Structure formats: C-alpha cells, structure tokens
Amino acid sequence: MNRAVLALEDGTVFEGRSIGAPLERSGEVVFNTAMTGYQEIFTDPSYAGQIVILTNPQIGNYGTNVEDNEAAKAYIEGLVVREFSPVASNWRSDELAQAYLEKRDIPVVTEIDTRALVRHLRTRGVMRGVLSAVEAEAQKLVEKARRIPSMAGLDLASRVSTREPYEWTRAVDPCSPSELVSRAPEPRYHVVAYDYGIKHNILRRLAQVGCRTTVVPSLTSAEDVMALKPDGVFLSNGPGDPEPLQPQVANIRKLVGRVPIFGICLGHQLLGLAFGGKTYKLKFGHRGANHPVLNRTTQRVEITSHNHGFAVDRDSLNPADVELTHVNLNDETLEGFRHRRYPVFCVQYHPEAAPGPHDSHYLFDDFVKLMAEAAR
C-alpha cells in the first residue's frame, strides 16, 4: 500500500493510502459536506490554498467530464476522502476521477476516518496542514504545517484572477435530454465581471438571463470598467481573506451609484468592506450544499450551496444605508444585503451552484431587473 500522511499544525496526524499524485502539498485543511459535485469542488478557484476533506464516504463513483469543470484547472491543494471508487458508472463520465487528479498533480489520501477528522476541525477550528505521499516522518510534517502562512491576511484572489480580459456568451447546457432548461434570450445587457476567482457556472447563469459578459482582472480600475460601457457590474467569488484587497474595495466604492452591482461570496464580502463594514474569519467555515438561508424579504427559506471561510459582521454595517436581506438559519451569520439608495445587492452563498441546489436562481433575474430599471 502506498502510504500517505495528513499532519495538522496542532500535532494531530492521520495516516492512509495515497492514490493521487505522489506529491506533498500544504494548505488550510477544510471540509465540504456536499453529497455530489466533487469535480466542481476540485476546480473551484475559491479552494486555492486549501486541502479539502469530503464528508461523503465514497468519492469518484460517477467519474469526471469536461463540462463540469468550474475553471480551466484544478485549484485544491490536496484531497482527503474515506473511500475512493476505482470505477466510474455514469453515462457522462469520460475520465476516472483518480486519473483526473493524478494528471493535475493533486495528492489524495484515502482510507482514513473522515468523521473523526471533521469532528476534530469542528471542535478546534480549521487549521494548517500538510498532505504528503513522500515523507513518512509525521513530526517533520507537523513542523512544516506550523510554518505555512495563515489564511487570515492572505490575498489569494489576485493570484487566481485572469491576466487578460475575455468575453463569455455561453449559456447553461442541459445535462440530459430530460433536464428542462429554457432557451437563453439574445444578449440584451453587457455585464463587466470582476474575476476574483470566478466560476464558469456564474458566467453561464449570466448568459442564461440574457447577458454578454466581459471578464476583467481583479485589479482593473473603475475607470477602465466604465469605459467598457457596462449595464451592470458583477463581483465574483474567490479565495482568501477579503481584508487585504483594499485596491479592489477602492474600485468598488468608485462604481457604487454609477451602475447596478451584484456580488457573490467574496464579492459580497468586498461590498461589505466598501460600505464601511468589517469581516471576520469563521471557526470552520461554511462549505456544503444544504445550508438553510432565510430570505427576509419573502420570508421563504432557501436551501443553498456555500463555500467560504470569512463573513461580514452584520453589526458593522450602517442600517441607514444597508438592508440585511438574507440570514443563515444554522448560525445566524449574514448571507445577503442590499443598499437602500443605490442598485447594489449581494449574497454570501452561491445561487449559481452546480450541481445544485437551485432555489436561488432568481437572483440573476433580479440583477437583470436592476439593469433594466437603470436603463430607463
């Protein structure tokens, strides 16, 4: 058996079997509780700098395919699972998940007690770790873990952002003939999307509601964005701590009131900072596909997909300027707000989530309505 070791900064060590790339990688060790969507997790830029534990006990059983990638590459540092299926059984699969990860130099440790590991992180909080298939001495790995930079204060969004602007017009494609996906309208609005780690399905969802999107680097100036004559500006998801992104926040402030703005995840956090709020690091974050969120405007509960380790302090926002619109029913953290005077709104969770849930697709329609009203 090829041995692999996961060592945490607090000295806890888990040993298992290596089935991915025979490498050593380090990062913040986090967990995701979703039952499906492992390929989307592999390729979500918001996981840059993180080793991901999947709590679903068997991973890889439906393989991978090109259409389900959320970005052009895999971003996770490593993967921790209970059991990895050696076969794939799905008509959409074109490559085994194990081969997919090996080709992308992602180490995987399997056959460990993921329940015990996740309970440890829930109790102690997420922490730095090293996943190694090459080093057998646990104490050396623990020492390496303690030297890894903390996620707090780390600007990762600038690292994963596109280097050059590009256009996106592809809408949502049905996964099967039985899936009901309405035909996307002809593009009516031009959206400029800041790429802090943007997912492909966000871009598909924008196209699905009639938007032509220009994706720009995270440090693009507000002046250059307005020169593109957008009907709206989108602020994307992304990895790392929002606090160091002060140039991005300054550009957002310059855009508020000039054009409708919609933010998701890190975009939500940056809007919170732009309006004078504060952010803080969660003990173990929200990562999964079944988080209940109350829409305080409609009084409806939405089941939502999450992937974030930081949150906006709801008490730091001025209630005269900002209306709190969404709240997490698990821990009452802030999940969304909108400005009372300007056409600006955002949510912490992922309404575009693939493979789902789909309760919050209406937010893209809301964005279109704001752009239509602004155009009158």
Give catalytic residue positions: 265, 350, 352
| Spatial distance between the Cα atoms of 78 and 54, rounded to a whole number of angstroms | 11
Q: Which of 234, 309, 283, 305 is nearest to 46 (CA)?
A: 309
Q: Three-state DSSP class for 141?
A: helix
| Helix runs in 2-83, H state only | 38-42
Distance in angstroms (rounded) separating the CA atoms of residues 135 and 141:
8
Nearest-CA neighbor of 364 among 355, 353, 374? 353
Contact 218, 248 (CB under 8 A): yes
Closest alpha carbon to 168 in 188, 186, 192: 192
Q: Which 3-state string (H, E, C) describes 216-277?
A: EECCCCHHHHHHCCCCEEEECCCCCCCCCCHHHHHHHHHHCCCCCEEEECHHHHHHHHHCCC
C-alpha closest to that of 214 among 241, 196, 242, 234: 234
Contacts of 319 by beta carbon, 8 Å cutoff, 6+ apart = none
The radius of gyration computed from the CA coordinates of the chain, to the nearest angstrom, equals 20
Chain Cα centroid distance, residue 306 = 7
